[in-house]
Amino acid sequence: MTLAKHAATLDVYSGGRLELGIGAGWLVEEGEALGRPTDHRSARLEETLDILRLAWSRETFSYGGRLYTIPDVGVNPKPLQGDRLPIWIGGQGQRAIEIAARHECGLMLWFAEPDAVRGYVARLRAAGGSGPVAAAMPLVPNAGRWLQLTRDYIAAGTEQLILTSYGGQARVTEELEQFAREVLPALH
């Protein structure tokens, strides 16, 4: 419920621009440190998706799943995007792909090369998914290859490219500005 409330509030504050990224939790130690259950991770993710959509689409709702039970409650404010607020499933395993497909979510891939992205897109579509695919590209080790790599990601079916950096804040800003100068004009 906290996630539904926080996401809805952020969507309102952002003028309906929030895109929520979630996953089943690959780092069990992190879940334990945060006091979150780490069993049945994929099932918990699926129930969470059901709960989010209910919370965002109804004045009040209750939920009785295998892992979560919620008595009649309402979440306010409602996100400006309603229950169609974009959700991205982070993960590269088959279960993440299937969950993204079943729940009409985007699939977010972390450091998958363009050829691998092509395979993930094919697996998502084969599972019945029609959502977008995003991939992360680290800037530093790919300097000088940004334009070609960006084109390769687009050709592979990537609809969003997440630019990442290992440097400090000043370095990140510098790299993003350079990427914008060198790559964006060539793509338009």
Greater pLDDT, 139 or 101: 101
pLDDT for 52 equals: 97
pLDDT for 132 equals: 98
pLDDT for 44 equals: 95
Q: Which residues of 37-65 are buried (b: 16+ CB within 10 A; e: fewer)?
A: eeeebbbbbbbbbebbbbbbeeeebebee
Strand partners, 88: 21, 106
- Sheet with strand 160-164: strands edge to edge: 20-22, 87-90, 106-109, 133-138, 160-164
CB 127 within 8 A of CB 101: yes
What is the per-residue pLDDT across 47-105, written as a single tens digit (0 to 9) for each? 999 999 999 999 999 999 999 999 999 999 999 999 999 999 999 999 999 999 999 99
Closest CA to 55 of 96, 105, 9, 101: 9
pLDDT for 155 equals: 97
Residue 4: is its pLDDT beyond 80? yes
Interatomic CA distance for residues 123 and 91, integer angstroms: 13
Residue 170: is its pLDDT beyond 80? no
Mean pLDDT of the chain: 93
pLDDT for 169 equals: 67
pLDDT for 25 equals: 86
The fraction of the chain above a pLDDT of 70, given in percent, is 97
Residue 14: is its pLDDT beyond 90? yes
Tokens (6 digits) for 128:
């019945």
Angle at 138 between CA 45 and CA 38, to 5 degrees: 20
Tokens (6 digits) for 2:
């906290």
- Domains in the chain: boundaries: 1-85, 88-188
Interatomic CA distance for residues 164 and 145, integer angstroms: 15
**pTM recorded for the entire structure:** 0.90
Residue 168: is its pLDDT beyond 70? no
Closest CA to 84 of 123, 131, 45: 131
Respond yes or no on whether the N-terminal peptide bond of residue 77 is cis (omega within 30° of 0): yes
Q: What is the DSSP letter of 78?
A: P
pLDDT for 104 equals: 96
Tokens (6 digits) for 85:
């607020």
Interatomic CA distance for residues 145 and 173, integer angstroms: 18
Greater pLDDT, 31 or 97: 97
Most distant CA pair in the chain: distance in Å? 55
pLDDT for 49 equals: 97
pLDDT for 167 equals: 63
DSSP 124-138: HHHTT--S-EEEEEE
pLDDT for 174 equals: 85
